Amino acid sequence: MNVVFDNIIYTLQRNGGISVVWNELLRRARADKDLVCTELDYVEKMTPRPLERYRLPAYQAEVPAIFHSSYFRVLPQEGVCNVTTVHDLTYHFYRRGLAKAVHLWEEERALRHSEAVICVSENTKRDLLRFYPWVKEDNIHVVYNGVSDDFYPLPSAQKKGFLLFVGNSTAGYKRYDVAQRVAQITGLELVTAANVTREELNTLYNEALCLLYPSDYEGFGLPVVEAQKAGCPVIAQRASSIPEIIGSEGLMVNHDTPERMAAEMADIVRQLQSRPTDRLIAAGIENAKRFSWDRAYRQVKTIYQNLI
């Protein structure tokens, strides 16, 4: 089975959530003897044209083939089936102006020319159908992200009592302001992690009192399950995909004013300080077992096979 992987995402980001998902897919596809893999690599092997990310690839595939882009591109060639992954609909909710218009044009072009659309959660699927009701629901496949084995409890780790925030603190919808308010109310240190290695992040998860995840919107929410797998309690906002991902025993606060959200999170933080957390940690570790990159890859491979 011929599969062409379009690695255009690496010209836009190297460490973001989409890159993490793409890395896991590629690693397994490269080792899969059932696949003949071709990678369009614009970082190390190919010279990108001006505005390459917005253009159709200059590539002729050996058909029949699957073309799977890491970021909203398609290969309009007879005998090629296009696959598009939708991680979230953030641009619809939180962006404005030219950046939004260009992204939505790119997104819609990919959806109109794809035989299969992968969504990383049921919430993302619902959002997709809200904004693109003409997409055939039978063509949409929900494939949950996995969680890396790089995240696990460290036997020698000691809880240091700080609050952890993982993500882009400048993106308004991530609600870093709420995390700051929680730190002010509780008097605890707030550690912010963005560009750190997985090893460093796993250590932070192990040492933190808890992960604060007050985000208004997530397509999936990788830090939630990463933290859980590492044995770190998570306090998140009950919004978008989080109730679907965090598990039945997850600690969530309702959407409200920043002040009320912070106050409610601070109350839960105090409870974590004063009560045993062994049961909560064990429930988080168990919940994280629902998410596997190997399982995700098998589901994506099945989508490829059905298209061919």
- Domain range for 47: 2-146+292-307
The residue type of 134 is W
Average confidence score pLDDT of the chain: 96
Residue 190 and residue 259: Cα distance in Å, rounded? 17
* pLDDT tens string 60-86: 999 999 999 999 999 999 999 999 999
Q: Same domain for 141 and 98?
A: yes
Q: Same domain for 61 and 77?
A: yes
Q: Same domain for 203 and 93?
A: no
Q: Same domain for 136 and 172?
A: no
pLDDT higher than threshold 90 for residue 301? yes
The residue type of 111 is L
Which pLDDT score, from 0 to 100, does residue 127 have? 98
The residue type of 212 is L
Q: Same domain for 213 and 278?
A: yes
Mean pLDDT of 266-282: 96
Which pair of structure tokens corresponds to residue 77? 């060639």
- Does residue 153 belong to any structural domain of this protein? no
Mean pLDDT of 194-198: 91
Q: Same domain for 39 and 142?
A: yes
Q: Same domain for 130 and 178?
A: no
The answer to whether 87 and 95 have CB atoms below 8 angstroms apart is no
Residue 123 and residue 113: Cα distance in Å, rounded? 22
Q: Same domain for 138 and 169?
A: no
Confidence of residue 194 (pLDDT cuts 50, 70, 90): confident
Which pLDDT score, from 0 to 100, does residue 119 have? 98
Which pLDDT score, from 0 to 100, does residue 71 have? 97
Which pLDDT score, from 0 to 100, does residue 148 have? 95
The answer to whether 212 and 163 have CB atoms below 8 angstroms apart is yes
Q: Same domain for 89 and 172?
A: no
Which pLDDT score, from 0 to 100, does residue 95 have? 95
Q: Same domain for 129 and 167?
A: no
pTM value?
0.95
Mean pLDDT of 143-164: 95
Confidence of residue 197 (pLDDT cuts 50, 70, 90): very high
- Does residue 157 belong to any structural domain of this protein? no
Mean pLDDT of 192-198: 92
- Does residue 155 belong to any structural domain of this protein? no
- Does residue 12 belong to any structural domain of this protein? yes
Residue 129 and residue 30: Cα distance in Å, rounded? 32
Confidence of residue 103 (pLDDT cuts 50, 70, 90): very high
For the sheet with 2-6, list strands across it. 36-40, 2-6, 65-69, 80-86, 116-119, 140-142
Q: Same domain for 33 and 130?
A: yes
Q: Across-strand partners of 191?
A: 164
- Does residue 151 belong to any structural domain of this protein? no
* pLDDT tens string 29-68: 999 999 999 999 999 999 999 999 999 999 999 999 999 9
pLDDT higher than threshold 90 for residue 92? yes
Strand bridging mode 65-69 / 116-119: unpaired
Q: Give the domain CATH number at 56.
A: 3.40.50.2000
- Does residue 158 belong to any structural domain of this protein? no
Burial bucket for residue 173 (CB in 10 Å: 0-12, 13-18, 19+): middle
pLDDT higher than threshold 90 for residue 266? yes
* pLDDT tens string 219-264: 999 999 999 999 999 999 999 999 999 999 899 999 889 999 999 9
Q: Same domain for 139 and 238?
A: no
Confidence of residue 168 (pLDDT cuts 50, 70, 90): very high
Domain count along the chain: 2
Residue 124 and residue 61: Cα distance in Å, rounded? 30
Which pLDDT score, from 0 to 100, does residue 15 have? 82
- Does residue 200 belong to any structural domain of this protein? yes
Which pair of structure tokens corresponds to residue 206? 């192990």
**How many angstroms separate the most distant Cα atoms in the chain?**
64
Which pLDDT score, from 0 to 100, does residue 87 have? 98
- Does residue 156 belong to any structural domain of this protein? no
Helices 17-30 and 293-307, axial angle in degrees (round to 10): 70
Which pLDDT score, from 0 to 100, does residue 14 have? 84
